[in-house]
Amino acid sequence: MDVLCLGESMIVLAPAAAEPLRGAVDLHMGVAGAESNVAVALARLGAHAAWCGTVGDDPLGRRVRDVLDEAGVDCAHVQTDPERPTGVYFKDPGPDGTRVHYYRRGSAASTMGPGHLDGVAAPRLLHLSGITPVLSDSCAALIDELLVDRALDPALVSFDVNYRPALWTVSEAGPALRRLADAADITFVGLDEAQTLWGAATADDVRELLPDAGVLVVKDGGNGVTAYEGGKSYYSPAEPVDVVEPVGAGDAFAAGFLYGRLQDASLEASMRLGHRLAAGALQTVGDLAPPPPPETVRAILEDQ
């Protein structure tokens, strides 16, 4: 297996017309989850990508599985909890942007804990995010087991900070996410997140805060991305796009970047593929857009 992504996937309900939830009658139902978004994008690029999480024994959990199966994601290790529901969240578009309302406390995924991946063969890369440790104490212990104690050694571990302010405060999340981000082989973080969580003003500040992250990828929206590896830094400008909806762009970038690294492409080429996938996600209402054709992917990765 190339990549195993672990995290919570949920059902997302959004007003069919971009109007406030309070008055909406028709809702669009989809499947969301930062880590499963990465798995879907990687599978569509041709990687053997698996998603691992727990869903409820309910129609919503079956919908999550169906959608990921159809996208070509390996769901062989997905677990079902007969006692707990699949998590749900709603999007609430408003004049100041879209707010999210989660109904995920006590969800099936929140029961994940240490030993969850026992018996699973180590993939080349294990992808995790900073959403999972806030779901429950047992989920936090699972992330420690996989990221800090390296239960799936020799898998490389990538970690997307993914701070979700609706789930925890800066004072809770700041130190916890910094410790995890610094323990990963590949760390993704938005400069805006790093400012909120740790007071970093520049990408170089983030590097100083996370000296042990093997490859550190600092994303600064439309300004581009700076990646650090082995004492060197590399800057890559973002592709100019008209943004339709930003949700999912970070996951798309991570998938493109990780796919490049799995193909042994350079940091610069991997960032370019990340930008290309992110540009697609930014121009669609859903979390992800279809990937570029294989010849475009090859050209992006070969152009060192």
Closest separation in Å from C-beta 4 to ligand KDG: 17
Burial class (CB in 10 A: 0-12, 13-18, 19+), 35: buried
Q: Which is nearer to ligand KDG, 34 or 184 (CB)?
A: 34
Q: Which of 63, 150, 164, 207 binds ligand KDG (CB under 6 A)?
A: 164
Q: Which of 74, 81, 160, 251 is catalytic?
A: 251
Whether 31 and 10 have beta carbons less than 8 Å apart is answered as yes
Count of other CB atoms within 10 angstroms of residue 52: 23
Closest separation in Å from C-beta 285 to ligand KDG: 13
Sign of the Cα torsion 35, 36, 41, 45 reads: positive
Closest separation in Å from C-beta 17 to ligand KDG: 21
Whether 11 and 134 have beta carbons less than 8 Å apart is answered as no
Q: Which of 15, 61, 133, 248 binds ligand KDG (CB under 6 A)?
A: 248
Tell me the site size for ligand KDG, rule CB under 6 A.
11
- Is residue 63 a contact point for ligand KDG (CB under 6 A)? no
Closest separation in Å from C-beta 2 to ligand KDG: 21
Q: Which of 34, 39, 43, 189 binds ligand KDG (CB under 6 A)?
A: 34
Q: Which is nearer to ligand KDG, 81 or 287 (CB)?
A: 287
Instruction: List the interface residues with ligand KDG, window 208-247 (CB under 6 A).
Output: 247
Q: Which of 131, 191, 215, 289 binds ligand KDG (CB under 6 A)?
A: 131
Q: Which of 1, 32, 52, 161 binds ligand KDG (CB under 6 A)?
A: 32
Rg (CA), the chain: 18
In the structure, how many helices (H) and strands (E) does the chain have? Answer: 9, 14
Q: Which of 178, 251, 265, 269 binds ligand KDG (CB under 6 A)?
A: 251
- Count of residues in the chain: 304
User: β-strands 225-229, 215-219: how paired?
Assistant: antiparallel
Whether 218 and 191 have beta carbons less than 8 Å apart is answered as yes
- Is residue 33 a contact point for ligand KDG (CB under 6 A)? yes
Whether 5 and 146 have beta carbons less than 8 Å apart is answered as no
Burial class (CB in 10 A: 0-12, 13-18, 19+), 138: middle
Known catalytic membership, residue 149: no
Q: Which is nearer to ligand KDG, 33 or 269 (CB)?
A: 33
Q: Which is nearer to ligand KDG, 220 or 229 (CB)?
A: 220
User: β-strands 49-52, 3-6: how paired?
Assistant: parallel
Q: Which is nearer to ligand KDG, 184 or 301 (CB)?
A: 184
Instruction: List the interface residues with ligand KDG, window 264-283 (CB under 6 A).
Output: none
Q: How far apart are CA 103 and CA 90, in angstroms?
A: 8
- Contact residues toward ligand KDG (CB under 6 A) are 32-34, 37, 131, 164, 247-248, 250-251, 287
Residues marked active site are found at 251
